[in-house]
Amino acid sequence: MKSILLTSTALVAFAGAAAADGHTSISHALSGKLGYNNGDVTSSNGFYWEGNLKTTATATLDNGLTAGAYFEVTVADDNAAAADDGGIALKSSDFVLSLTSETASLYFGDTGMAAQKHWASAGDMESDGFSTGSNAAVLRGDVSMGGVDASVSVVAGDAAGDTEQLSFGAAASFGAVSLAAAYQAEASAGYVNGNGDFNNAEIFGVSASGAFAGATVTLAYASNQTADTTSTGIKVSYPFGPVTATGYYVMEEGGANEDPNMGIKVAYASGPLSASIDVQDDQGTSKWVAEGSYDVGNGLTVLAGAMNESEADDAAYYIAGEYDLGGGASVLAAYASDESNDQG
């Protein structure tokens, strides 16, 4: 695939006036994107656009609690939409209602599940697939006490109106060491959410991380009780000057592929230049990705990258330039090629 991509993005934020008593605030953020793509894949050709509106409201109650509401709506062009609708379709919508204090909080809506909120993995672990709760009505409570942060959640409504998948997560720090534990119960076999990121399996995991001799080390163990698989991993990150090297190794047991997962990433950042190379051998697939960017100045940034998977005959690559127009607006021009794509 060869393509030329032109994109302009604008962001405007409006802060609502506070109520007379100073207890209430409302803010809005509106963004829009307009682009044109000219490539070998017909379905990707032509103009495309997207609009996004985010609204946040908070109110301080007389008892010291803070009530909040967050709404986000995204609309975009959609070839499947009816012609008399102008091809306009609601792409996604999110909402979160909250009631918070200094030590405890309650959330309802498109908010993360408790296990996923606190879990810390050690690389690509195949048995730690905790549900994210994205695009689901999640009821979650958080509490902080004695140096421990803990959460519990449920999905608050399946097709029958019942709750699904109790989830628990906790994290605490003891000196230089941080500990995390996470658990989710098995959900009904037929339950799915809109984004497909809900895992019905019963999963638990524990992890520990700390800084030693300048390096950050994470050890983690996860078990998928439903699939009868386990993952045991170690991840080490070490910075030296402008370079940070991160590597991981995960032993897998019980699955169809018990080969270990491993990877190493080296990232460089200094002044206007940033670059990284990431090499992985995960779940039977080897791949590498090399990317970099350079801030030329006067609002112009140049970006480039290349990537390759074991199944591909040739590497895919891209080069792009982004120019900051100021006021939250920018324009992007890019060229990408993927000769290994059979689609052309």
pLDDT confidence band for 112 (50 / 70 / 90): confident
Instruction: Provide Rg for the chain, Cα atoms.
Output: 23
pLDDT at 314 over 80: no
CA distance 128 to 226: 12
| Choice among 67-76, 96-105, 130-139, 163-172 with the minimum mean pLDDT | 130-139
Q: What is the dihedral of CA 114, 117, 120, 123, to 10 degrees?
A: 110
Average pLDDT for 256-263 = 90
Per-residue model confidence as pLDDT tens digits over 122-154: 999 999 999 886 667 889 999 999 889 999 999
pTM for this model (two decimals)? 0.81
What's the pLDDT score for residue 311?
Answer: 61
Contact in structure between 330 and 321 (CB atoms under 8 Å): no
What's the pLDDT score for residue 12?
Answer: 38
pLDDT at 238 over 80: yes
What's the pLDDT score for residue 182?
Answer: 98
Average pLDDT, the chain: 83
Per-residue model confidence as pLDDT tens digits over 152-180: 999 886 556 678 899 999 999 988 899 99
304: left (phi over 0), alpha (psi -120 to 50) or beta: beta
Average pLDDT for 65-76 = 90
Between residues 193 and 62, the one the model is more confident about: 62
pLDDT at 329 over 50: yes
What's the pLDDT score for residue 342?
Answer: 41
Angle (CA) 290 294 298, round 5° = 155
